[in-house]
Structure 1
């Protein structure tokens, strides 16, 4: 197949896969379209079978890690960890919307960082709806906070986001050094979001209510201790040169054994792995590889800055944010990482800030936002596109610029 035709085929396939991931026709899982599309890319010669296989092998450890974290988060939810956090949050807020919003910001930031953005979107968002109802306050601001923080607060640890796992592999950093460099960007980005939220939702946050009195459930100590042990395992395995996925797998296995002893079915545990989504990630990676190899990589290489100075980092992050909103953040990071990996960890982390914070601008920017939108609709709440976009236009530039400046400062102090 000629070069221009291969590029055309791969771009069309990527477009179809992304549209179907957004629309999900007939409720189909994303993999129903993505896996055949990857097969078509191979069969038509848009990407050779050896290159497709190499890409699948490269992504395999990331997919394994993702599967383990998904199971860990679901089992923590089954233990009641999220319900307990929501109940304590509601009692602390005491009917005051400002305190509830601040509590959601803190809780969602930690959950996103430790248990990944999927835990915040899928497991915490319904809890926030229930907590707001018990507190007698309008849920819009804290529910919007869930989707924004599932993206913005996913910059801290390699385990916080699938994009982080990919960047972690490309950066060559240890787990602790990655976290050390991203700590300041994480803090300032979340704070910038909070300042904008307080002003944007000022009218909704000004009226207190009388909360319902309910008994607060006990904190599931075993699940909490397991999560802490897994975090410690991430540090130890990284220092020892062992894939951190082993630590996540061990934590998931411990909770799975406990759940089976409490009459949890193996089928439900396996269901938490979300095999169709994992297949979608692998298929999407192969299609994006075809697009990059057939011309997009060369085109971006001509415009992407080369260097780790502040202006270069701002430009890299801005380009990543724009690309994330055009083609979704997962394809964007797959496209950009090979182009900046040789520049150094600073450029890799700037890409990560762009693809994690940038998607708050549009629905299609990240899969987490699309999933959040479905959950909100399930709770009979509408999401206004204009309002969502206006909030994104205020938060994304402020958070992204603040985070990149903080990253630049961290690189100067800690070093890449």
Structure 2
């Protein structure tokens, strides 16, 4: 009975998060569900508090990075980037697709997948329309890369942040091991998307494009140098934070504070705008979801996965492929955040010699896998809503067909690349 109730509560939370009836926030179901879990004893109070405490730094970073991305938008970073895409593409759809892949990958790495979905996708759609080129391929590039391009840094995805501590490596060590899988995954995505939408990507003749960047809040037509410098320094701060024992959340918070102070002073964004950018209800959703998932794990799911997920003394290529595949399937069944939370409990029991490889294989599955179905990640669901609000319909059949072509290929190739990186690193 406890297992059934826990699973039912998780299903309700995920359905509400996916559908968002009447535009209600994800927390509207997650918080009451977490309260029920604790109230009826599905998860003891100390265990629930421990879960919240463990997720605290992750939620703090999420709030800081959401604010950082919104402030970068207020500074004109994304409007300037859209103009650069238009100028650089020279009116050629294929060239624009390559530039969008680069912009989406960089945005996801530095500002996390939410910035790619919420801030970059509308700019890319607008750029394609201004150039009079079909925008489906470019929109899908943003959606897919918000997931698969989030492999590189611990700060690129909430799943990475959840797993970073369990991986047992430094910030730069994480990036070093995931660099080749990241490159391989993005390359596979590009090739498949390029071929899948080849009818929408003719070799068009050059057309006139803007020669100047749009006005930004910073200084007329000039690039938003202040914001770009702050973002660059924040990225450098992420790299050195682990060497001095500093949590990435403090680096993100410092960057957000600098941009917030400037934006509030110049009145480009008000206090209410800052609060909305932090999205307190979504930040509250994460620990609430964690409590519900912990209850599901405690009543059978974790034990089931322990029987399925191999945790041997040596991480062979077949083991990594199996773990990544299980993680991808689970992400598409229960969403990638719950999948990460449960699978981390499973691989935490692995020997230290193999734990790093298994944790990173899990991340390959939960980050690449969500490109297969809409429910795989909250970012994918949000991406679909953003496109719909701008008159671009995403057909479930088309999304799934593209996912069937990209996910298995990218996941297998990235896992092979991870195996090679681990061998080179002696892990």
Structure 1 length as normaliser, TM-score? 0.97
Please, which moves more after superposition, 262-271 or 204-213? 204-213
Please, which moves more after superposition, 178-187 or 195-204? 195-204
User: Which runs of structure 2 are paired with 1:385-400 in the superposition (5 Å)?
Assistant: 385-400=396-411
Shift of 1:210: 5.6
- In the TM superposition, structure 1's runs of 4+ consecutive aligned residues that sit over 2 Å from their partners are 209-215
Q: 1:252 aligns with which of 248, 256, 260?
A: 256
Q: Is the 8 A contact 2:94 2:203 kept in 1?
A: no
Q: 1:230 aligns with which of 234, 243, 263?
A: 234
Residue in structure 2 matched with residue 27 of structure 1 by the alignment: 23
User: Which runs of structure 2 are paired with 1:325-336 in the superposition (5 Å)?
Assistant: 325-336=332-343
SS of corresponding position for 1:219: coil
Gaps of 5+ in 1: none
Residue in structure 2 matched with residue 289 of structure 1 by the alignment: 294
Residue in structure 1 matched with residue 330 of structure 2 by the alignment: 323
CA deviations over 1:257-285 (Å, ceiling 9, x no partner): 10011113111112111000011111000
Query: Counterparts of 1:110 and 1:116 in 2: how far apart (Å)?
Result: 9
Shift of 1:198: 1.2
Q: 1:312 aligns with which of 316, 319, 327?
A: 319
Shift of 1:376: 0.3
Residue in structure 1 matched with residue 219 of structure 2 by the alignment: none
Query: Is the aligned partner of 1:196 residue 2:200?
Result: no
Query: Counterparts of 1:9 and 1:44 in 2: how far apart (Å)?
Result: 10
User: Which runs of structure 2 are paired with 1:17-416 in the superposition (5 Å)?
Assistant: 17-208=13-204, 211=207, 213-214=209-210, 215-217=212-214, 218-263=222-267, 264-307=269-312, 308-343=315-350, 344-416=355-427
CA deviations over 1:132-166 (Å, ceiling 9, x no partner): 01222010000011000000000000000000001
Q: Across the two proteins, how many residue pairs are aligned to each other?
A: 412
Structure 2 length as normaliser, TM-score? 0.95
CA deviations over 1:77-129 (Å, ceiling 9, x no partner): 11010111110111111111100111100110011011000000000000001
Q: Is the 8 A contact 1:317 1:354 kept in 2?
A: yes
Query: Counterparts of 1:359 and 1:270 in 2: how far apart (Å)?
Result: 29
Query: Counterparts of 2:373 and 2:26 in 1: how far apart (Å)?
Result: 19
